A and B are shown apart, each in its own frame.
Chain A
Amino acid sequence: MITLQNISKSFRVAKRQTGLGNAARALFSREYKKVQALDNVSFTINEGEMVGYIGPNGAGKSTTIKVMCGILTPDSGECKINGRTPWKERKSHVRDIGVVFGQRSQLWWDVPVIDSFELIRDIYKVNSNEYQKTLDTLTELLDLGEIIKTPTRSLSLGQRMRCEIVASLLHNPKILFLDEPTIGLDAVSKIAVRQFIKNLNAEMKTTVILTTHDMQDIEALTERILLIGKGRILLDGSLTELQKRFSCEKTLIVDYNGQMPKLSDNMTPVELKEGRLTVTFDPTKLSVSDAIAYISNQVEVADISVVSISAEQMVAALYEEHKI
């Protein structure tokens, strides 16, 4: 169980001077500006939940993660994770969490992956039986097998990321933070990683907090999303809800033979061509099946598709809406 209440954090950043004269002046005095990285951030995440934490770069995502990992002390506000305040009881807190930084490795580059795993086991003082059990479960779940006997440097990026995730789970944490776990992966690896995270959450009831720029990650994994921008939580809701809000409009594309069909009053034309018709409509006023029926009654339909807004477009629209 994670609760954040009115967490605020600001940094002082030195202004870089341009030009020779200003640069020389900056040798002696320097101007600073205050950056509000987190501004009254509050949310609650329940046990076993899987949450997508999204926002543009510099919005405060990694600051929040750092606070929740106990690396950073906020200026004000309260944070309780499993009943502890992370930055006050760092050592006991981090025993219960796993962290994957997508862009930095925790595996030793030049030795077999299994050696890194064993070192991590010793760092966390996991007893051997328990470790073996966890390792067996995870290697099977992730289909790692022989991979863990090869040195990290000869793994593909996808294999490495799966090993990274395993490394963060060896001590059986209740909470897993994933910071851009699919960055740079090819399509197949991405799907494998996503599937694994999904299984993990389903079988081990691990709470997962995921930051990503890849909306397909979000679509595939999380029901709930948190949107942060300029240090503030702008939206906290389910993906379906959001989709409903944005997909009050659907697009219908029809390839047909014959004369151009007439449109119903509830349809807005987007493109009308010989052989292809694109219209948008509001599904609350005209149901999808009625719309299809309306057209197919008039012409012979060769192909038909109904498109609703993608998560990608939705987030772009959200950023636009909040001007972040």
Chain B
Amino acid sequence: MKLYGKFFSIHLRCQMQYKASFFMTSLGQFLVSFSLLLGIFFMFLRFNTVEGFTFEQVLLCSAVILFTYSIAECFGRGFDAFPMMIGNGEFDRALVRPRSEVFLVLASKMEFSRIGRLLQAIALFCYAIPTSGIDWSADKVLTLFLMISCGVVIFFGLFVIYAAISFFTIEGIEVMNIVTDGGREFGAYPFSIYGNEVLKILTYVIPLALFQYYPLLYLIGVRDNPLYIFTPLIGLLFLIPCYGLWRFGLRKYKSTGS
């Protein structure tokens, strides 16, 4: 952990050497997700609600997704950019260090420009938390806390899968964007609006709905079974297959070197 802090500090100092580029990338991140939000705003001007969710409730949902994704991307960037690490031999360099592979990849990259999205998510929270009509009792605060913390971990798990797949193919890796970028983009709305089939996939296969949809139902009072508070925790089980796939890929890498 202390060592991770040292990596953090050196990454920060390096990226601050290029303030202009840092600012630009942050701005880009901000603008792209802002245009999506504007789209949502326009849709609600016309329709007022979607499948029973109000604008403020949808915004809360967007904020959770945007926040968790940005944090996961900022600190899990090493896995997100892993195909590059394999391509340029940086991963070989990491393997001659006496630390665990996961740690070395994790520490190898951090992307602070994700702050562009993060600030937007925080602004959304500031707007949606008071206006969503939720009575913020302790259980609701806990729910939101679990949504955010487990959401970061689950997105992080997706990046690990992304990295693990790049042990097998770098060319076809674009497919994984369906769940990573797609999760971010389409997660702006509660996943139930995409219909039952999609919701099932996002519950049992890629458990994004476990920290986005189900606890949201509890938050807005559609469900009052306290079990819904803890669905994000179930989502953490997702890390097991993620890590398994990573180990499997790593073994393959060590036997083929590519």
- Residues of A in contact with B (beta carbons under 8 Å apart): 11-12, 63, 66, 69-73, 75, 87, 90-92, 94-95, 97, 99, 101, 104, 106, 108-111, 115-116, 118-119, 122-125
Partner of A11, one of B7, B14, B92, B256: B256
Complex contact A66–B257 (CB within 8 A): yes
Q: Tell me, yes or no, whether B90 is within 8 Å of chain A by CB.
A: yes
Which residues of B, 65-98, contact A by the 8 Å Cβ criterion? 88-90, 92-93, 95-98
Q: How far is the CA of A128 from the CA of B94 in the complex (A)?
A: 23
CA distance A240 to B17 in the complex (A): 51
Q: Is the CB of B10 within 8 A of A119?
A: yes
Interface residue SS majority, chain B? helix
Using Cβ atoms and an 8 Å threshold, which residues of chain B touch A69? 92, 95-96
Once the chains are docked, how many angstroms separate the CA of A131 from the CA of B13? 23
Within 8 Å of chain A (Cβ to Cβ): is B99?
yes
B10/A111 in contact, CB under 8 A: yes
Residue of A whose beta carbon sits closest to that of B258: A11
Contact of B10 among A12, A72, A90, A115 (CB under 8 A): A115
Measured CB to CB, the closest approach of chain A to B171, in angstroms, equals 11
A90 touches B95 (CB 8 A): yes
Closest to A123 in B: B97
Bound CA–CA A90/B258 (angstroms): 18
The reply to whether B99 and A123 form a contact with Cβ atoms under 8 Å apart is: yes
The interface bits of chain B over 1-23 (1 if a CB of A lies within 8 angstroms of the residue's CB, else 0) are 01100110010011001100000
Report the interface size for chain B: residues with CB under 8 A from the other chain. Answer: 25
26 contacts between A and B (CB under 8 A): A11-B257, A12-B256, A66-B92, A69-B95, A70-B95, A71-B95, A87-B254, A90-B95, A91-B98, A92-B98, A94-B97, A95-B98, A99-B96, A101-B89, A104-B89, A104-B93, A106-B93, A109-B14, A116-B10, A118-B6, A119-B6, A119-B7, A122-B3, A123-B3, A123-B97, A123-B98
Asked if residues B254 and A108 are in contact (CB atoms below 8 Å), the reply is: no
Q: How far is the CA of A12 from the CA of B18 in the complex (A)?
A: 42
Tell me whether B35 is interfacial, beta carbon within 8 Å.
Answer: no
Q: Decide yes or no whether B255 CB sits under 8 A from chain A.
A: yes
By the criterion CB–CB under 8 Å, are A110 and B13 in contact?
yes
How distant is A320 from chain B, measured CB to nearest CB, in Å?
A: 30
Q: Kindly provide the distance from the CB of B111 to the nearest chain A CB, expressed in whole angstroms.
A: 15
Kindly provide the distance from the CB of A183 to the nearest chain B CB, expressed in whole angstroms.
14
Contacts of B6 in A (CB 8 A): 118-119, 122
B177: min CB distance to chain A, Å: 21
Cα A99 to Cα B94 with chains together (Å): 11
Which residues of B have CB within 8 Å of A91? 98-100
**How distant is A178 from chain B, measured CB to nearest CB, in Å?**
13
The 4 closest A-B pairs by CB, nearest first: A110-B14, A110-B17, A95-B98, A91-B98
Are A72 and B255 interface neighbours, CB within 8 A?
A: yes
- Bitwise interface map of B from 93 to 119 toward A, beta carbon under 8 Å scored 1, else 0: 101111110000000000000000000
Docked-complex contact A63 and B98, CB < 8 angstroms: no
**Does the CB pair A124–B96 fall under 8 Å?**
no
Additional A-B contacts beyond A72-B257, A106-B93 (10; CB < 8 A):
A12-B256, A69-B95, A72-B255, A94-B98, A110-B14, A115-B13, A116-B10, A122-B3, A123-B97, A123-B99
Q: List, in ascending order, chain A residues with CB within 8 A of B257's CB.
A: 11, 63, 66, 71-72
Q: Report the Cα distance A109→B100, complex, angstroms.
A: 24
Whether B14 lies near A111 (C-beta < 8 A) is yes
Please indicate the chain B residues that have their CB under 8 angstroms from the CB of A90 in the complex.
95
What's the Cα separation between A12 and B168 when bound, in Å? 13
A106, B93: Cα distance in complex, Å: 8
Complex alpha-carbon distance, A3 and B122, angstroms? 58
Is B88 touching A104 in the complex (CB atoms < 8 A)?
A: yes
Proximity string of chain B (240-258) to chain A, C-beta cutoff 8 Å, 1 when within and 0 when not: 0000000000000011111
A111 neighbours in B (Cβ, 8 Å): 10, 13-14
Closest to B101 in A: A90
Most chain B CB neighbours (cut-off 10 Å) among A73, A75, A123: A123
Measured between beta carbons, the chain A residues less than 8 angstroms from B17 are 110
Closest B residue by C-beta to A67: B257
Contact partners of B13 in chain A: CB under 8 A: 110-111, 115
Bound form: Cα–Cα A115–B254 in Å: 31
Chain B residue with Cβ nearest A90: B95
Q: Which residue of A lies closest to B104 (CB)?
A: A123
Given A11-B258, A119-B6, decide whether A104 and B97 contact each other with a Cβ distance below 8 A: no
Which single residue of chain A is at the shortest CB-CB distance from B2?
A122
Bound Cα distance A205, B256 (Å): 33
* Identity of the chain A residue whose Cβ is nearest the Cβ of B18 in the assembled complex: A110
- Chain A residues with Cβ below 8 Å from B7 are 119
Closest Cβ of chain A to B17, distance in Å, is 4
